[in-house]
Structures are given as C-alpha cells and as structure tokens.
Amino acid sequence: MILPTLRTERLLLRPFRRDDIPELVPLIGAREVAATTRSIPHPYTAADAEKFISASQEAAEINLAIVRQGDLQLIGGGILRPDTNDKHAEVGYWIGVPYWGNGFATEAARALVQYAFETLQMHRVYAFHTSNNPASGQVLGKIGMKNEGKMRQHQRKWGEYQDVEFYGLLREEWP
C-alpha cells in the first residue's frame, strides 16, 4: 500500500522511516503513552520500533508519523484501519509526553478523519479509548465524534481490566 502524506496547519503526517527510530523509541516508549494504548509495549525497544516500521510499510492499515512542519520533529503517530467492505475505518493516535496539551492530537486526528471520508470514501469513522485516558475522549469530541457507549472491563492492559469508551462519526455528520 502506498501511504499518504497529510498536511495540517502545523503538522505533517507521513510514513514512518527507519531514521525515525532514535526519536520514536523514547516518545512511544514512555510509560504514560503505553498505558493509554492497546498494543504499545513497555518498555519499548529499538527492536520493537524496527518491527513496527517494517510491519507498517506492509500492512493494510495507514500508519503515519506525526511531525511538526517547522522543524520536522517527530511528536507522535496516527493510524487508520480502513475496512473497504463495510466502508468504515478506525482512527487512532498517540502523542509523545513532551508535546501533550498543545492540540496536536486533535489536529492530527482531524486530518486522519478527513482523509478517511474525503479520500477513502468511508461511510463511518470510529475510535475508542480506555477510561483511564479521558483526554483522548476530549480529542474525539472536539473533532465531532459522538460517544456511543462504554464496554466495561473490555480490555486488559498490564494485568488489569479497563473500561473502553467507543466513539463514532458518520460521513453526513462531518463538517
């Protein structure tokens, strides 16, 4: 799959590259980041990053690095998992701890949703977050997603069950 490059006012979302590994490992490897995601291990190693980048270049999902346009500093990652049969896509994102609170997650998530609706012609985009990550729910609300409910103790992370909040947005609801 040829991965896109998306631009926003402050960000560039582009395919991950092997030369991202030195910046990627400490950002994604922070316990605070791993704690709020389904699949990021902790500790996170260069070998994990190498495997992730190789897999993301071959997968049917769209996995993009989030970098600041001005200095091309890697600050996070975003993903779309499109399902062409049902015309829906899951959106996800993570931002490195030093960049939290600057609106980068909202800006990146909005770009991914726009790409899903306008380029991929999806009918619906959905996302979820664990209840220990309410900031992600705020991001999803800011981009117009509706909370569709909670699945109690749906996900297990580090031996503990977590509630998961689900969100969705239909194409006709997209601005």
pLDDT tens per residue across span 81-101? 999 999 999 999 999 999 999
> What pLDDT was estimated at residue 4?
95
> What pLDDT was estimated at residue 41?
85
* Cα Rg of the chain, angstroms: 15
> What pLDDT was estimated at residue 84?
94
Domain residue ranges of the chain, discontinuous segments joined by +: 11-173
Q: Name the class of domain 11-173.
A: alpha beta
What pTM was estimated for this model as a whole? Answer: 0.94
> What pLDDT was estimated at residue 118?
97
8-63 pLDDT, tens digit each: 999 999 999 999 999 999 999 999 998 888 788 889 999 999 998 988 877 789 99
Confidence of residue 173 (pLDDT cuts 50, 70, 90): very high
For residues 43 and 1, the model is more confident at 43
> What pLDDT was estimated at residue 37?
84
> What pLDDT was estimated at residue 56?
83
Does a cis peptide bond (omega within 30 degrees of 0) precede residue 175?
no
Which parts of the chain are beta strand (E)?
A: 6-7, 11-15, 62-68, 74-83, 88-95, 124-130, 146-157, 160-170
Q: Which of 165, 85, 68, 157 lies closest to 126 in space, CA to CA?
A: 165
pLDDT reading at 2 higher than 90: no
